Amino acid sequence: MKQLRLSNDEISRLCQGLHMLICAGVGTGDGLALLAEDEEKKEYKEMLQSMAKDADCGMPLAEIFSRTGAFPAYVCGLIETGERTGRTEEALDSLAEYYEDRLRLERQIRSALLYPAVLLLVMLAVIVVLLVKVLPVFDQVYAQLGSSLTGVAGGLLALGQAMDAAMPVLCLVLGAAVLFLGAFGASGSFREKVLGLWRRKFGNKGVSEKINMARIAQALAMGIGSGLSIEEALCQAATLVEDIPDASRRCRACAGALADGMPLAQALRQNGVLPQAECRLLEAGIKGGAVGSAMSSIASRLLEDSEDALAQKVSMVEPALIIVTSVLIGLILLSVMLPLMEIMAAIG
């Protein structure tokens, strides 16, 4: 069977469907077979059928997931924990909810990156047309009036002429940019590679840091809810954010601090795994004996905060682009029109 890597949407749907079927009393093998019947994608259908056969042979669900090579290590690890503690249904439900949140956030990120990029390309195209096509017309008008473009307008005209000479190269660059944006918007695998590279280089700053903290809190909540100890949940969380080296390192450092006897909230705060305000909330949950519910609440709050921060960044980028490009276009037109108005007034 050809191995494939499932998207967040496919993982969420599979875990949610399997959770519902198991809760309804359907066996694991029969549940996977039922899910395969409704699947149209050939490779995915074949994978589910193979998983159903392994389940009928008595293979543990975590091993079935792992053998496909299609699921992240965290998914297999959490399901294994759920089977060991008798909480398989809870593990599947948590995974479904987590990857549904990841899918929603991924859509927001795609929109946040695509829309400003497309807007910027359109604005740049308008400026290029002004410089290459419109300014030469005004230069001809000035020549007929016995004058020429000078100063800022003259410099812009020279820039437009240089851009006109380099038009084949500009077209190639524009075409490459359009292809990149099209692939980023349409191809999930390409988009994940680009975002993965971004996360490795800049994935722990600003809004990305908020998103990472939300992912770690969700992982801790899922691990605790599935029966893991805090140290084990932190190690599992480290594997979930292994594409962000600094975040993964902080999780492992926090697990080490716990092993040395440091209180949980203090370890999380000292290693920068969670914000201070959330650590105080967790301390209250620990005193009340509700660590799991407190962590779930923290995860929900951090996820909401990260989505709000991302939306705020997007709302700032769009007006900034419009203002900057509008000012540039206005300066280009004014640098040409004002001298022309003076000449016409002198003639009149």
Q: What does the pLDDT read at residue 1?
A: 42
147-182: buried (b, 16+ CB within 10 Å) or exposed (e) per residue?
A: eebeeebeebbeebeeeeeeeeebeeeeeeeeeeee
The DSSP code sequence of 188-237 is HHHHHHHHHHHHHHHTTSTHHHHHHHHHHHHHHHHHHHTT--HHHHHHHH
Q: Which residues contact 245 (CB under 8 A, 6 or more apart)?
A: 200
103, 8 in Cβ contact below 8 A?
yes
- Domain 102-348 homologous superfamily, CATH: Type II secretion system (T2SS), domain F (1.20.81.30)
Query: What token pair was written down for 334?
Result: 């004014």
What's this model's pTM, rounded to 2 decimal places?
A: 0.68
Give the integer Cα–Cα distance in Å for 167 and 113.
27
Q: What letter represents residue 102's amino acid?
A: R
pLDDT of res. 335? 74
What's the first-to-final CA gap in the chain, in angstroms?
84
Mean pLDDT by 10 residues, the chain (348 residues): 70 90 89 86 87 90 89 84 84 87 78 75 81 79 72 76 79 80 70 69 71 84 80 82 80 87 87 86 83 85 83 77 80 73 63
What CA–CA distance (Å, rounded) separates 105 from 186?
Answer: 16
Find how far residue 115's CA is from the centre of its chain. Answer: 14
pLDDT for res 345 = 64
pLDDT value of residue 340 = 67
Q: Where are the domains of the chain?
A: 8-71, 102-348
